Amino acid sequence: MVSCLRKRRRVTWNEELLNYPIQDQGPQWVAGFMSGTSLDATDAALILTDGVQVLEFGPVAERKYSAQERQILQDATDAARAWNWVGPAPEAAFEAARTVVTRTHAEAWQLLREGGGKEVVAALAGVHGQTVLHRRSRPGQPGATLQLIDPVGMQAALGVPLAYDFRTADVAAGGQGAPLAPVYHGALLERAGDGASAVLNLGGVANITARLVDGTLFAFDTGPANGPVDEWVEGHGRGTHDVDGAFAAAGRVHEGLLAQLLDHDWFAQVPPKSLDRYDFNASMARGLSFEDGAATLTTFSARAVGAGVAQLPETPERVIVCGGGRHNPSMMAALRDALPCAVLSAEEAGWRGDSIEAEAFAFLAARTVRGLPISWPTTTGVPAAMTGGRMLG
């Protein structure tokens, strides 16, 4: 599998900028927003960027979802999975979710403008929306992806130009449409002066970005992260997630089941590749005790990352972990056991771990408005480096 990856032409994302027209526009403050498949909150962040470098970090904000809002988003996700692009779309559920997403993003915007102790005025914003369905490309079956938000209402609430719909063009061109944060991960690693390092995001799904010694970016989804564990905990009426990894720590890993799970054909597929949040789910632990299920699902996510790292052309010197999973000590311990390199939290690397995905969509917005590429053959499998995102305002 590694040999297949090595045949790809290695061009760094900075070198490929030379092939694209760049508007004569200097650095500006850009707001980014992200609502992940964990359905916990809308995150917002401001960065000063020209879409190539990150020059300064501004305020951040988090707007937590209420139980009712979370249920509306879950209902839309369940309706989308049942629909799966066959027959009439469940528009009532989708519209309810769009209303929640747009309103909470607007409220996160207000929190962002009030935060940080200094006046920072954004000139541009990038919004991802709520992913409710994602189908990866397979032979004979094109990929598809769906994010919910009302871009017109969002742009009106923000009052600045808005970049959105970052995935559709990539999928239409034959790419996976995910992950999209690698270009921002690469900018962070370049800012830090790192060589062969990787960024691992642990949301509902895990994705990794590796910056090789020559500057090339490789990225793909490695497998599940928090999603199955959260689903397992919630399905047992024990909350929305495994707080501090306590449930997993109290259980025993079922090694026989793990071996079966790691035999899934997903792990034999050559990157780039992407997952829907529910491609791996809590049903994998059916029949186990509550604690043993939490331990097994947590360890499975970590070993799936280990399998992904083994598919990289170069072993990274360190993996920097962002996303909610880094708050789970059991998950982090399992990662350190599964990976052949140092594992650091985003904070240990000097980053804002809860805001990286929101920052990433600010960065993507800056690139979109300048006509710069946001995906590559080695990040989404798209045939050639391409731009993405649509603009309003």
Both structure tokens of 174: 């034959």
In tens, the pLDDT along 42-65 reads 999 999 999 999 999 999 999 999
Both structure tokens of 69: 């809002």
In tens, the pLDDT along 342-364 reads 999 999 999 999 999 999 999 99
Both structure tokens of 228: 């199955």
Is residue 372 a contact partner of residue 200, using CB atoms and an 8 Å limit?
no
**Does the pLDDT value for residue 208 go beyond 50?**
yes
**Does the pLDDT value for residue 14 go beyond 90?**
no
Is residue 386 a contact partner of residue 375, using CB atoms and an 8 Å limit?
yes
Query: Residues, the chain, total?
Result: 393
**Does the pLDDT value for residue 156 go beyond 60?**
yes
pLDDT value, residue 117: 55
**Does the pLDDT value for residue 304 go beyond 90?**
yes
**How much is the average pLDDT of 26-51?**
94
Which residue intervals of the chain are DSSP H helices? Answer: 2-6, 13-16, 67-83, 91-114, 151-158, 168-172, 182-192, 226-235, 246-249, 255-261, 290-310, 329-338, 356-369
**Does the pLDDT value for residue 2 go beyond 50?**
no
**How much is the average pLDDT of 87-91?**
97
Buried b (16+ CB within 10 A) or exposed e, 243-253: eebebbbebeb
Nearest to 111 by CA among 63, 156, 65: 63
pLDDT value, residue 191: 85
pLDDT value, residue 58: 93
**Does the pLDDT value for residue 31 go beyond 70?**
yes
| Distance in angstroms (rounded) separating the CA atoms of residues 298 and 233 | 11
Determine the distance from the C-alpha atom of residue 342 to the mean position of all C-alpha atoms in its chain, rounded to a whole number: 22
Q: Which residue has the tokens 């409710």?
A: 132
Confidence band, pLDDT 50/70/90 cuts, at residue 213: confident
Judge residue 164's burial from the number of C-beta atoms within 10 Å of its C-beta, 0-12 exposed, 13-18 middle, 19 or more buried: buried
In tens, the pLDDT along 3-12 reads 333 334 344 5
pLDDT value, residue 138: 78
| Distance in angstroms (rounded) separating the CA atoms of residues 289 and 45 | 40
| Distance in angstroms (rounded) separating the CA atoms of residues 75 and 82 | 11
In tens, the pLDDT along 247-280 reads 999 999 999 999 999 999 999 999 999 999 999 9
Cis peptide before 179 (omega within 30 of 0): yes
Amino acid at 304: A
**How much is the average pLDDT of 288-293?**
98
| Distance in angstroms (rounded) separating the CA atoms of residues 373 and 371 | 7
pLDDT value, residue 12: 53
Q: What is the mean pLDDT of the chain?
A: 91
pLDDT value, residue 16: 52
pLDDT value, residue 11: 42
Judge residue 234's burial from the number of C-beta atoms within 10 Å of its C-beta, 0-12 exposed, 13-18 middle, 19 or more buried: middle
Percent of the chain whose pLDDT exceeds 70: 92
